Amino acid sequence: MSLHIHLDPIGGIAGDMFAAAMLNAFPDLAGPLLRAIGVLELPEEVRATLIDHDDGILTGARFDVSLPQPEGEHDHDHRSLREIRRYLHGSALDAAVRDRALAIFEILAEAEAKVHGTEVDDVTFHEIGAWDSIVDIVAAAFLIERAGAVSWSVAPLPQGSGRVRTQHGDLPVPPPAVVLLLKGFVVFDDGRPGERVTPTGAAIIRHLAPTPRLPRGRFRHDSVGYGFGTKRFEGISNVLRVLALQSVEPEPSEDEIGVISFEVDDQTPEDLAIGLDRLRAFPGVIDVVQSAAFGKKGRMVTSIRVLASAASADAVADRCFAETTTLGVRMERVRRRTLPRKITSMDDGGGTVRVKSAVRPDGSVTAKADVDDLAAAGDHRERSRRRQRIEQAALAGEAKDA
């Protein structure tokens, strides 16, 4: 069985709404999340709280971050991406959560840099850089990581209208950075004014690279969560609904992905290795494969193929130009079929190891322990013994659940 999460932005989406909806759907994650936020060493006045909420139409939760009150009109926390990166790297956050949070911040920074004509590292966040938004993004990264969903989808997003006040002055709704982040997503106008998708909410969606509809196959409703925002709209709940769906059959899912191919013959192997590692970490990239080949005049070249989500293909192609010396790339869309899979965490006394389980078409289950989590287990023989022990335990757990 595999988990799919569908986002239904009834009122819209913001960072706090996403965190609240996920916690409402997965209440067992509330304690671990608050402990993870605790390692950030926030100012004493900054506290995160999950609050039950009833707006008279629906019930759910709000994710509230209490903040110190500014002493003057311009007394706000402003941070650059460089400062946020240094702050999170200096924290005791789990590496996977930290990297996912930074990926969301970098998505935001790239959009802001394009809008305001600045360098990405020099983008200074105002509303986004405040403590509440740092907590919201870290919470989102934690919940995405721990929920273990293998796929995401999102319903059409409400467009909103009017003006929103920012540190850059009054901007139209949706703000320019949000427009960039939502490129390729379906939006609609329900006639209600106001900001419906915040920059943080848009960055989380872009990071998830969701499909516009449920994948093929049959699913069982497993849990539902309602996350409320602070605003109120006439005639509708300002809420994000999260639907957690478990597949009920081992049927491969099918979607489209982008394939970007090119060759490099004039970049040093050391620098190319760095560039390809950065490509692998770029949002929307599924895999990067390289191989040796012969080019014109019999010269050795490196042939590179990058797989990316369809929605991210253009941005990934631009990143290929930034990370390598190639002067051109070939792009195509291909159909992809993937087996249902999920990632679970197991602790055999030697530390936590992530295990990816997949359901084969005949109903059998295979399991593979994450090699990076086994790196500290000792020599090759010890790593092999621990890998086999953990994978056997994971398969036994799958058989028991079935």
More confident residue, 392 or 248: 392
- Does residue 328 have a pLDDT over 80? yes
Chain segment 62-83, per-residue pLDDT in tens: 999 876 555 544 445 567 788 8
- Name beta bridge partners: 343: 356
Give the other-Cβ count within 10 Å of 289's Cβ. Answer: 11
Strands 151-154 and 3-8: parallel
Sheet bearing 253-264, strands edge to edge: 285-294, 300-309, 253-264, 330-338
Rounded to the nearest 10 degrees, what angle do helices 269-280 and 313-323 cross at?
Answer: 160
Chain segment 10-51, per-residue pLDDT in tens: 999 999 999 999 999 999 999 999 999 989 878 777 788 999
Chain segment 164-210, per-residue pLDDT in tens: 766 656 667 788 889 999 999 999 999 898 899 999 999 999 999 99
Q: Which fold has domain 253-338?
A: Alpha-Beta Plaits (3.30.70)
The predicted model gives 90-96 an average pLDDT of 92
Predicted local confidence at residue 79, as pLDDT: 73
- Does residue 126 have a pLDDT over 70? no
**Inter-CA distances, 77 with 15, 87, 106, Å:** 18, 14, 18
Chain segment 340-384, per-residue pLDDT in tens: 888 888 877 777 888 998 887 766 788 998 888 887 767 888 888
- Does residue 128 have a pLDDT over 50? no
CA 182, 3, 359: angle at the middle one, nearest 5?
Answer: 125
More confident residue, 363 or 322: 322
Predicted local confidence at residue 117, as pLDDT: 72
CA 390, 393, 397: angle at the middle one, nearest 5?
Answer: 140
- Residues 220/184, Cβ–Cβ less than 8 Å: no
Please, which residues have CB within 8 angstroms of residue 79's CB and are 6 or more apart in sequence?
87, 124, 125, 129
Looking at mean pLDDT, say which of 51-55, 363-367, 395-399 comes out highest.
Answer: 51-55
Give the H or E element holding residue 19.
helix 15-25
- Does residue 142 have a pLDDT over 90? yes
Instruction: For 295-372, list the strands marked E by DSSP.
Output: 300-309, 330-338, 341-347, 352-359, 365-369
Chain segment 234-275, per-residue pLDDT in tens: 889 999 999 999 987 666 778 899 999 999 999 999 999 999
Q: Residue 85: CA atoms inside 13 Å, Cβ hemisphere, count?
A: 14
Chain segment 221-236, per-residue pLDDT in tens: 999 999 999 999 988 9
Predicted local confidence at residue 259, as pLDDT: 97
CA distance 157 to 181: 12
- Residues 104/140, Cβ–Cβ less than 8 Å: yes
